[in-house]
A and B are shown apart, each in its own frame.
Chain A
Amino acid sequence: MNGLIKIGDATYRWLDERLGITGITKATLLHPVPKSINWWYVFGAAVLTAFTVQLVTGIFLAFTYVPSPDHAYSSLDYISHHQFAGNLLRGIHYWGASAMVLLIFIHMSAHFLTGSYKYPREMQWLTGAVLLILTLGMAFTGQLLRWNQDAYWAIVVGAEQAARTPIIGTWVAQLLTAGPAVNGQTLTRMYAIHMLLLPGGLITFITVHIYLVIYKGASEWPVPGQPVDPKTYWADYQELLHTDGEPFFPVGIWRDAVFSLVVILTIGALAIHGAADIGIPANPTTPANPAPDWYLIWYFAILALIPPASTPYVIILAPAIGFGILFLFPFANKGERNFVRRPWAIATVFIAAFATLVLVYMGYKEPWKPFLVNGSNPPQLASKSLRTTSGQALTPMALAGAHLMTVEGCTACHLIEGVGGQRGPDLSQVGDRRTYGQLIWRIARGGGGMPSYGNVLKPSQVNELVTYLETRVTPGQAISSNPGG
């Protein structure tokens, strides 16, 4: 036994002399951290854990995935449905991506709320902001590799947005698609960016980010009423580490380890349910109903909800201003750190989180768009809508109008007793609020976002439609007379 220990000891010393293990370990794992660090500090390590999961699973997905537009989708189909353990591997990569995006925002919010970006850790924040951009780049390019309809149209939409850049817009758009339109070179570019360029950038910046954690130390838990003063902060911090510090390993790291385990277990549990559906293969000639993944759908929702005239400005200026603020505000690097003394910081985080949640919800709901069954057919009216709201049989003319509601696509935008789109007003009780003449006028002339049907429908058809709409009144209410019928 003693002999073994001696051999082990000698081996370590031989290696240490050549590799400097002790020195590196002392400087990294054993570097002192303030005793006040707590559960707020676990998110950075969790992002790193999620990134590591992505790195490893990504490498092994590349064992099978074919980054060529003619085979990408079929290789993904093979991974997802036929390859042994392929769906689990892809599931982990899919949920790992969501975890990484979510955790990076939580990590950022936690350090924003505790003012940890203030002196002397401004570079921590700035490298973190670069990491956020690179991560969003990974999220965008990653969903493209599925090479389904969502992927294809996400690139088209991306190019349209890039084209709004002043002066060089067309060039930027065509660089994104690697040509005048999406073509055989587009996917390989996205693949190289996702697999090599962005991960290279992430690894570089993560290395600097972690180096800074060690060089400038973990920030101590902020005490309200103890503002940061750059003149005295560093000396005070050194003193704090000396009197009230502890080595990162093992006393500081255990919370990180516990939370990272929770993250990994969550990703694994979700992965058992599989990844996102692989969708319909990319094909620019078949109907599509494209939407991005959740981490970009909030932006998709914004573009639907803002006034149309502001679109070009929002597309270019909003991200520019947003990232500008992200990069500039750590230079306000003095003063109170604790959120108790910075109510605006709490408000910012809550408003941003709430707005994002609402926009993601809206993004999935899509109330702004016409509702088409299978992307091409307006929905059929419910059987109760084929009678008056009081349950009586419709006249033949009103029934013809009800038929036209679906055929002419009215139900794509208008709700009738729970069936239809939400793009236009609910017509379930339109007879209460519009006269025969008003309805004729609106259908014939359009307006308020509605196409004009004056040249599309025959006068007799307009008459049938209005006769039907006049029957949509509060149950029990009298149906107004029809001067045309």
Chain B
Amino acid sequence: MNITRKLMTREVFAGLFLATVGGIGSIIVGLPIIGVVLGPLFTAPKDVWRDVGAISDFKVGETVQVKYNYNQGEVQQWSGTTQETAAWLRRNSGTSFTAFAVYCTHLGCPVHWLAAPRIFLCPCHGSVFNGDGTVAGGPAPRPLFTYPVRVQSGRVQIKTQPQPLSL
């Protein structure tokens, strides 16, 4: 008993009490802050299929840019042009399409399609991709990413995807 009394002086008690107040305060304020900061990791709206045009809009063998919207949920209301995204859509044959992400696999800059030589060029560090998305030169570590594409009732649809990351 005596030992307890010596250990628990007024100063020690006051210190522990302050630490408790601070700890409880930090938890009450901190939890919602952590929730808001980390929220985007587990509350992202689902990926959805987006219509990018009629099948007849695309010629076999050609690659063109298509634009469509991400699914951003309620944030969409004020997201301006950032709700949009683009893909390079290639019609391989009758109903076979490939949708290449515009993000270069080196560091994410938007690749540009040159129709005549049939290559994609990255404006940042000069990566070059062949028409089928494989690497032709430059620092890109892997072929261009592709998105799921489907044809439904004569319409071409691309599924929205997170920004592809070269890990």
Contact = CB atoms under 8 A, between A and B. Distances in A.
B108 A370 contact: no
Contacts, number: 199
B40 A179 contact: yes
25 contacts: A69-B80, A70-B81, A152-B82, A159-B163, A169-B167, A170-B165, A180-B161, A181-B70, A284-B85, A284-B86, A285-B81, A285-B86, A287-B123, A300-B124, A303-B125, A304-B125, A309-B141, A312-B141, A369-B126, A370-B121, A370-B128, A408-B116, A408-B117, A423-B126, A451-B130
B65 interface: yes
A71 B80 contact: yes
Contacts of B75: 179, 183-185
Interface string A142-181: 0000000000110011011101100001110111011111
A157 B126 CA distance: 14
Interface residues of B, number: 55
A169 B166 CA distance: 10
Contacts of A281: 81
A185 B37 CA distance: 11
Interface string B71-95: 0100111111111111000000000
Contacts of A160: 103, 106-108, 165-166
Contacts of B140: 308
A282 interface: yes
Contact of A284 (B72, B76, B110, B166): B110
Contacts of B144: none
A78 B22 CA distance: 45
Contacts of B130: 451-452
Contacts of B107: 157, 160-161, 303
Interface string A177-195: 1111111111100000000
Interface stretch (A327-335, A372-380, A384-392, A430-438): A372-380
Contact of B136 (A368, A410, A446): A446
Contacts of A185: 40, 75
Given A180-B163, A412-B114, A452-B130, A171 B41 contact: yes
B109 interface: yes
B101 to A, nearest CB: 10
Contacts of A410: 117
A179 B109 contact: no
A450 interface: yes
Contacts of A179: 40, 44, 72, 75
Given A159-B108, A160-B108, A300-B124, A308 B82 contact: no
Interface residues of A, number: 69
B81 A283 contact: yes
Max count, chain A CB within 10 A of own CB: residue among B40, B82, B161: B82
A68 B77 CA distance: 11
Contacts of B72: 179, 183-184
Contact of A183 (B70, B119, B121): B70
Contacts of A356: none
B137 A450 contact: yes
Contacts of B82: 69, 152, 182-184, 186-187, 282, 284
B31 interface: no
A184 B83 CA distance: 7
A449 B128 contact: yes
Contact of A376 (B41, B112, B165): B112
A371 to B, nearest CB: 10
A196 B15 CA distance: 31
Interface string B49-86: 00000000000000001010010100111111111111
Max count, chain A CB within 10 A of own CB: residue among B40, B78, B106: B40
A140 to B, nearest CB: 15
A409 B109 contact: no
A181 B163 CA distance: 5
Interface in A245-290: 281-285, 287-290
Max count, chain A CB within 10 A of own CB: residue among B67, B110, B136, B166: B110
Interface in A293-336: 300, 303-304, 308-309, 311-312
Max count, chain B CB within 10 A of own CB: residue among A174, A175, A446: A174
Contact of A282 (B40, B81, B128): B81
B143 to A, nearest CB: 13
A205 interface: no
Nearest to A368: B126
A180 B110 contact: no
Max count, chain A CB within 10 A of own CB: residue among B81, B86, B112, B140: B81
Max count, chain B CB within 10 A of own CB: residue among A157, A291, A448, A453: A157
Contacts of A157: 107-109, 124
Nearest to A289: B123
B30 to A, nearest CB: 15
B25 interface: no
B155 interface: no
B90 to A, nearest CB: 14
A376 B117 CA distance: 13
Contacts of A448: 137
B84 A284 contact: yes
Given A160-B165, A183-B75, A407-B116, 15 more contacts: A163-B166, A170-B165, A174-B40, A178-B40, A181-B85, A284-B82, A284-B85, A285-B85, A288-B109, A291-B124, A410-B117, A449-B136, A450-B136, A451-B128, A456-B119
Nearest to A160: B108
Contacts of A370: 121, 123, 126, 128
A449 B138 contact: yes
A90 to B, nearest CB: 21
A166 to B, nearest CB: 9
B148 interface: no
Contact of A163 (B78, B136, B165): B165
